[in-house]
Structure 1
Amino acid sequence: MATSAVARETVFALRRQIAKIEGTLPERLAAPAGEGLRAGPGLDAAPEPDADVTIIRRGLAVASPDAFLATGVERLDAALSGGLPKAALSEIHGLETRNAGAVAGFVLSLVSLILRGQPLPVLWIGTSEIFREAGFPYARGLQGMFGIAPEQLLFSEAPKLTDALWVAEEAAKMTALAAIILEIRGSPQRLDLTATRRLHARAQNAGRPVFLLRQAGEAEPTAAPVRLIVSAAPAASRRTIAGSLAGSIGRPAFTVSIGKSRTALPGQFTLEWNPDEHAFEERKPREKRAENSVAVVPASGGRTDPAPAPGTVVAFPAFGSSAAISPTARDQPSRPQRPAHIGPRRAG
């Protein structure tokens, strides 16, 4: 009996440790009436010592609302069970290099929501390769678009991925930072489950979010409980008092897909960032395309002669020759050129 009790406590301790790593919480429930009870003559019913009344619930449904970073979009927050976890590793994924600007803009929007009411700085970590490819954020754009003061965003350019991971792990332990951003290109082998577990555990201990930006890489297993796939969405027309302004470019828009979450609920959303209110707004399906849109390249017109039919061979007179070519000979190659069209091409 003592051996089984010790084994059971060991299993419970392991479950609690796994729940802590995964960002879940243990919940103790009372045993159902009539189950796990042992009663004897003249004795009241008491819980049976062997009854397992500890249940580990997956998800953060029992966590406090302050544990999440709400995006303000009801459907997205509901699919994420409240929003992005504040004390955890979250993966923001861009499938192609051309989505680097959209991924960075989306993360800066999340940082803008985090920095409301707190003057703490944010550390952005990346390798020299990623900063050469994607560039650095523009200071005036940070202030005007996201309300982030330039002195609140710190950069750490590492020569190699190993150095960037080391800086991220050390920074994730600091409570003097509001958030840490680690930008990685591709699918490097060093960014495995072990590395992401260390980042996730340190983010939980410090109570700070760590955003992992994956640029132009395949989705791989990580310890991040949430993975969002972000790409650029077509911008709608600018809205004025008189209505939509034709031919203009409106607010930045993102297409956000849930690749991984605690609730395992899929979903795709089109979000617009309001730079005046510093908040997200979900675009309705009918607003996917701008009003009064026109073709990028206008259709050709005013041509006198149509293009020849496909497969027609056009012959030209010899240079300097003033002899007129008959209409019947225009569509056929000259006699010296005929063998070149009929015979096979010789190599060399």
Structure 2
Amino acid sequence: MAISAVARETVFALRRQIAKIEGTLPERLQAPAGAPLDAGADADATPGADLTIVRRGLAAALPDGFLPIGVERLDAALGGGLPKAALSEIHGLETREAGAVAGFALSLTSLILKQAHGLPVLWIGTTEIFREAGFPYARGLQASFGIAPEQLLFSEAPKLVDALWVAEEAARMTALAAVILEIRGNPQRLDLTATRRLHARAASAGRPVFLLRQAAEPEPTAAPVRLIVSSAPAVPRVTVAGPLAGSIGRPAFTIAIGKSRTALPGQFTLEWNPDERAFDERRGQRTENSVPVVSLPRGRKDPAAASGAVLAFPAPRSSDVGSSATGGQPPPGQRAAHFGPRRAG
């Protein structure tokens, strides 16, 4: 007796949930044209239709559906990379990580533009975002990421509602290689419904939408992937003779998987190679920065000594410094010239 479509979908949903708990992926296979369906299929189903088959083991990722980051362990943990036709979140837990989040997003943009055939990328943000973090530097884009200035477009919206509207309209456009939306914090308007719309538009257009979030706490969204990005200390540059002391090497990021289709946790340290325009994983290398942040003054080898004992001086007598009514302060009109008027507000 054939199983109904509703019952079969229920079984598939349960198998997907079990696969997620076990850290495996469901495979979507396509039956050959004209091949008979199994006994569990409907009698009126079309031959050659897509059948969802779940089995143990990690499913092979489809190259056309994912953007490989280029680090084997990270791509495997994500099930093949970042989905191309979906919404992906890139989080920075603190405001000071805004530069690292933007740098990682630009690295992904560089990977996308290799396959975009001249299509530009649109970066959307509010006035508050660009005023706080600034705009990417055009010369740095070309030198570090191989992104020409005309390939990266910016849209500055006065309010969050305007930025969301621009992002939704841009996400449906196939004339863009990708859309980047940068949001600060956890605004109420960026709820599950808003992220569902962005995810649906991205899936319909077949283009990725990256949601950059400054100083944001994880919350339920429609994005299937959430990466938490922070800056990692750079190591000295490597030369033929060994590490070059006092130098600063490649930009480095610490990537933690907060959410993915495989539900596999992981934390990775990636270095961006501006020459190859690719990521490299740092494994088994020294990560502490041996270069002092501020150089010591010339002629001194040690920092200033600690302060000595605190002494208590007796309060001055009124006969020594003036009348007690003024508390030793100069009379009005004799205020020091470097003290300007205090502004209110």
Which residue is equivalent to 2:81? 83
Which residue is equivalent to 2:108? 110
Cα contact 2:27–2:52 (8 A) shared by 1: no
Partner AA of 2:93 in structure 1: L
| Cα shift at 1:217 | 1.1
Which residue is equivalent to 1:67? 65
Cα contact 2:5–2:42 (8 A) shared by 1: no
Deviations 1:251-281 (A, max 9, x none): 1111110000111111111111111111111
Q: State the SS of the aligned residue for 1:285.
A: coil
How many Å separate the matches in 2 of 1:48 and 1:228?
A: 39
Cα contact 2:61–2:79 (8 A) shared by 1: no
Q: State the SS of the aligned residue for 1:221.
A: coil
> Structure 2 matches for 1:306-321, cutoff 5 A?
307-308=308-309, 313-315=311-313
Deviations 1:21-69 (A, max 9, x none): xx9875589xxxxxxxxxxxxxxxx947899xx7565999365222111
Which residue is equivalent to 1:33? none
How many Å separate the matches in 2 of 1:94 and 1:129?
A: 16
> Relative to structure 1, is the Cα distance of residues 316 and 217 closer, same or farther in structure 2, using a 3 angstrom cutoff?
same
> Relative to structure 1, is the Cα distance of residues 145 and 7 closer, same or farther in structure 2, using a 3 angstrom cutoff?
closer
Of 95, 98, 103, which aligns to 2:96? Answer: 98
Which residue is equivalent to 1:263? 262
Cα contact 1:27–1:57 (8 A) shared by 2: no
Partner AA of 2:64 in structure 1: D
> Structure 2 matches for 1:1-348, cutoff 5 A?
5=4, 8=7, 47=39, 57=54, 61=59, 63-117=61-115, 118-290=117-289, 293=291, 300=302, 307-308=308-309, 313-315=311-313
How many Å separate the matches in 1 of 2:154 and 2:70?
A: 28
How many Å separate the matches in 2 of 1:90 and 1:48?
A: 35
| Cα shift at 1:307 | 2.6
> Relative to structure 1, is the Cα distance of residues 122 and 5 closer, same or farther in structure 2, using a 3 angstrom cutoff?
same
Q: Taking structure 1 as the reference length, what is the TM-score of the superposition?
A: 0.73
> Relative to structure 1, is the Cα distance of residues 164 and 237 closer, same or farther in structure 2, using a 3 angstrom cutoff?
same
> Relative to structure 1, is the Cα distance of residues 314 and 200 closer, same or farther in structure 2, using a 3 angstrom cutoff?
same
| Cα shift at 1:225 | 0.6
| Cα shift at 1:293 | 4.5
Gap runs ≥5 in structure 1 = 30-45, 320-348
| Cα shift at 1:294 | 5.1
How many Å separate the matches in 2 of 1:212 and 1:197?
A: 12
Deviations 1:80-121 (A, max 9, x none): 111111111100000111110110000000010111142110
Higher mean C-alpha displacement, 212-221 vs 232-241 = 232-241
Whose radius of gyration is greater, 1 or 2?
Answer: 1
How many Å separate the matches in 2 of 1:7 and 1:306?
A: 77
> Relative to structure 1, is the Cα distance of residues 49 and 170 closer, same or farther in structure 2, using a 3 angstrom cutoff?
closer
**Aligned residues, how many?**
293
How many Å separate the matches in 2 of 1:172 and 1:293?
A: 43
Partner AA of 1:287 in structure 2: R
How many Å separate the matches in 2 of 1:276 and 1:116?
A: 14
Which residue is equivalent to 1:344? none
> Relative to structure 1, is the Cα distance of residues 246 and 194 closer, same or farther in structure 2, using a 3 angstrom cutoff?
same
How many Å separate the matches in 2 of 1:68 and 1:175?
A: 17
The CA RMSD measured in Å over matched residues stands at 3.7
Cα contact 1:228–1:257 (8 A) shared by 2: yes
| Cα shift at 1:245 | 1.6
| Cα shift at 1:71 | 1.1
How many Å separate the matches in 1 of 2:174 and 2:146?
A: 22
Which residue is equivalent to 1:43? none
| Cα shift at 1:284 | 1.9
Deviations 1:215-262 (A, max 9, x none): 111111111111000011111112223222211111111111000011
How many Å separate the matches in 2 of 1:125 and 1:48?
A: 48
Partner AA of 1:190 in structure 2: R
